[in-house]
Amino acid sequence: MTKKLTAKYNDSCIKLFEFIKMLYEGDVEFKKVINHFSDGEYNGKSNTHVTLNKYLNAMKIFGIKVKKINHKYKMLSSPYKIKFDIDDLKSIKLLKQAGDILPEGKNKTNFEDFIRALEIRFDDSAQNICRVENSTQNLDLEFSNSEITDQLKYCAKLCKDKQKLEIIYTDDKGGEINLLCSPIEQIYEKRKHCLKVLGNNGSRVYDIPTDNIKSIKQLPISSSTQAIPTTVVYRIKNRLAKNYKIRDWERLDKIEYDGSQVIVNKNEDLNLLLHRLMRYGTQCTIISPKFLKEEMIERINKTLENYE
Amino acid sequence: MKEFLKNQKVTYNLMSFTGYKALVLFSLLAEGPKSYDEICSYFLNHPYLREKISIDTVRVYINSLKRIGCEVKRIRGEDSISRYVILSHPFELKLSPEQIQSIVKVYKSIVKNMDVTELLAMDNFFEKIGSYIKNNQFISDMKKISMLRDIDKELLKDLLDCCDKKQQIVINYSSPNTGKKDIEIIADKIDISNNKIYLYGIGFEYKQYGSFLVNRINQIKEIKLQKTIPDDLQVIRVIYELKCPPDKIELNDNEKIIEQNKNKTVIEVTTSNEFLLRQRLLEYGPLCKIIHPDEFKNKFVELLKDMKAGYYCD
């Protein structure tokens, strides 16, 4: 170890690589860079800026792209690159879109740092694909939508403010629904961006596609922090019980002697859940809560009315 | 710099040669082991450098690279020639445990929204990242989230290919009721339903369109050169009405609109699998009314009555 530290080295080589290390960590203030190259002795008169330009040119000619934006140096392509193909770039884009709906905080910062760490290491081919994509938007990722950015920001603010909302949205019949609710989080459901909210009675969860929202009014009342979403218990049997895959928000309560299973479900939009359970036909029955059981019976009755 | 862009010539006034040489050496050694002669020859033939580099200068640069955190090793090959190589360096992709947790959280939030080709691409992407950060735990953490965790990816790719070409294939399938058996089908599509991956197609055994869990498919035993649609394939044509605005309707491949107005759409569907169709129509609830044929309609009404009875029996 001692031998390594006393071995002869080249100071300007170290300065250059340390500068690159700084750039890998994020944008670097001009002042910090000039101090780095002048060992903290820059007085505005020395020729450190000339030296700095020579280093920047060396980097540029080598293929490292560095741009000065608002008195900060930003590395656009690095000396160490990773080869990413078009499928990788699509995956990164999907992840980025999912990351956009994370609430502000450590998770979001950590995730954005990861994306930046990848983007800075894009090889030339990946950079070219991204450039083309940014100029033509020809990579159809289905839930890629530039207009959604403003919606995402607005929904993030609503979730952060934790105030009650009055939302007017259209349901699957095209009818207008006026809902008093508390925002929970933003999610993607069937590739659609949705705002997850808790109804005003504090028990019913709604996943409202933002495309269906006609207006949102923030009310001067704080959301209740004590509200707990309804727990739904239902029984599945026969072939469905054999093949059913428990969702992340569900748990298996028990297996009956006849092989049927009792599932406990929490935090799912009850309307979507009713649609899903209806699909299972006679192989599924809701056990509780009573009001949802009645809603299911009403749904069956209304469907039957079509044939009277 | 303008002069350089014009004539591609570098001068001492233009750039730091020391810095440039260090960058060249870094990239050479990061690429793989290089002997002094190989380094020297590279510098000599380099379009901007065109000069030899002494062994002492190489050592000075290597010492400098070590100082900034590169792990440089000298190895002696079977040809007894010493070669230098960078085993690790500070610019490699690194992920902290907190970052990995955040990536897991983000991936979980979209994994249920992705189709099979996207899941495959994402799986490969995370494998690539895992290999760069040299962290197998990361790869297995991501696999746990993916619906492909218990699926043979190569087999899945082959099945996707068969579906694209609508090929007639024989698969070996582990049926929960009858054990391992060969099933002949005309592959149609791979889709996710109930959080599981299914192969859809016309099955020759039951002469109907069906779905097969991909994780129960052991192998594709045969790809037939010619397609033979079963003679006795029983296809039914159902007409149903949907009471909802046109923009809320998402048609399947086997469906077509035969009449439409502001609040009502009449759809014709052709299928050989009544079970799958019934499931789809049940999900619509009161929005859907079956118009034709009477036999299918009556069975559907009976099913609804049985569903209702189920709530009064318990």
- The pLDDT tens digits of the residues spanning B34-77 come to 999 999 999 999 888 888 889 999 999 999 999 999 999 999 98
pLDDT for position A1: 45
pLDDT for position A199: 87
Burial, B6: exposed, middle or buried (Cβ in 10 Å; 0-12, 13-18, 19+)? exposed
Lowest-confidence pick of A128-132, B26-30, B145-149, B305-309: A128-132
Query: In degrees rounded to 5, what are phi and psi of residue A289?
Result: -80, 165
Residues B107-139 pLDDT 10s: 998 888 899 999 999 999 999 999 888 887 888
Which of chain A's residues have a Cβ under 8 Å away from the Cβ of B216? none
Of A231, A230, A232, A212, which Cα lies nearest the Cα of A277? A232
Query: In degrees rounded to 5, what are phi and psi of residue A62?
Result: -70, -20
Contact B68 A18 (CB under 8 A): yes
CB-based contact, A32 to chain B, within 8 Å: no
- pLDDT over 70, % of chain A: 91
Among candidates B114, B244, B282 on the partner chain, residue whose Cβ is nearest the Cβ of A279: B282
Cβ neighbours of residue A234 under 8 Å, at least 6 residues apart? A262, A263, A265, A277, A284, A285, A286, A287
How far does Cα B273 stand from its chain's mean position? 29
Q: Which residue of B has its CA nearest to A302?
A: B286
Lowest-confidence pick of A191-205, B5-19, B115-129: B5-19
Lowest-confidence pick of A19-28, A53-62, A123-132, A250-259: A123-132
Higher pLDDT residue, A291 or B176?
A291
> Biggest alpha carbon distance in chain B?
93
Residues forming beta bridges with residue B189, ordered by sequence position: B200
Size of interface A-B (CB pairs under 8 A): 241
B148: DSSP letter: T
pLDDT for position A20: 93
A84-93 mean pLDDT: 92
CB-based contact, B190 to chain A, within 8 Å: no
Residues B82-109 pLDDT 10s: 999 999 999 999 898 999 999 999 999 8
Contact A58 B23 (CB under 8 A): yes
Of A160, A158, A156, A135, which Cα lies nearest the Cα of A146? A135
- In this prediction, the answer to ipTM > 0.95 reads no
CA distance B260 to A297: 30
Of B208, B200, B213, which Cα lies nearest the Cα of B230? B208
**pLDDT level of residue B7 (50, 70, 90 thresholds):** low
The answer to whether the beta carbons of residues A246 and B272 sit under 8 Å apart is: no
Q: What is the mean pLDDT of chain B?
A: 89
pLDDT for position A138: 38
Q: Please say if the pLDDT value at position B161 is more than 70.
A: yes
Asked if CATH classification 3.30.70.250 holds for the domain at B236-313, the reply, yes or no, is: yes
The answer to whether the beta carbons of residues B106 and A102 sit under 8 Å apart is: yes
A249-258 mean pLDDT: 93
CB-based contact, B131 to chain A, within 8 Å: no
Q: Where are the domains of chain B?
A: 2-88, 97-145, 165-223, 236-313
pLDDT for position B235: 87
User: Angle of helix A11-25 relative to helix B55-67, nearest 10 degrees?
Assistant: 40
How far does Cα B106 stand from its chain's mean position? 17
The shortest C-alpha distance from B79 to chain A (Å) reads 27
Q: Is the peptide bond before B293 cis (omega within 30 degrees of 0)?
A: yes
CB-based contact, B84 to chain A, within 8 Å: no
The answer to whether the beta carbons of residues B227 and B233 sit under 8 Å apart is: no
Q: Please say if the pLDDT value at position A222 is more than 60.
A: yes
The shortest C-alpha distance from A224 to chain B (Å) reads 25
Among candidates B4, B26, B243 on the partner chain, residue whose Cβ is nearest the Cβ of A61: B4
Q: Please say if the pLDDT value at position A221 is more than 90.
A: no
- pLDDT over 90, % of chain B: 61
Annotation: CATH topology of B165-223: SH3 type barrels. (2.30.30)
Residues A227-252 pLDDT 10s: 678 899 999 999 899 888 888 889 99
Of B165, B151, B164, B133, which Cα lies nearest the Cα of B198? B151
User: Angle of helix B97-111 relative to helix A86-100, nearest 10 degrees?
Assistant: 90
pLDDT for position A239: 87
Residues B197-237 pLDDT 10s: 999 999 888 888 889 999 999 999 999 988 787 777 788 99
Q: Is A25 helix (H, G, I), strand (E, B) or coil?
A: helix
pLDDT for position A295: 94
Q: Are strands A213-222 and A261-266 parallel, antiparallel or unpaired?
A: unpaired
**pLDDT level of residue B240 (50, 70, 90 thresholds):** very high
pLDDT for position A226: 67
CATH code for B2-88? 1.10.10.10
A85-91 mean pLDDT: 92
Q: Provide the token pair at A131.
A: 């450039």
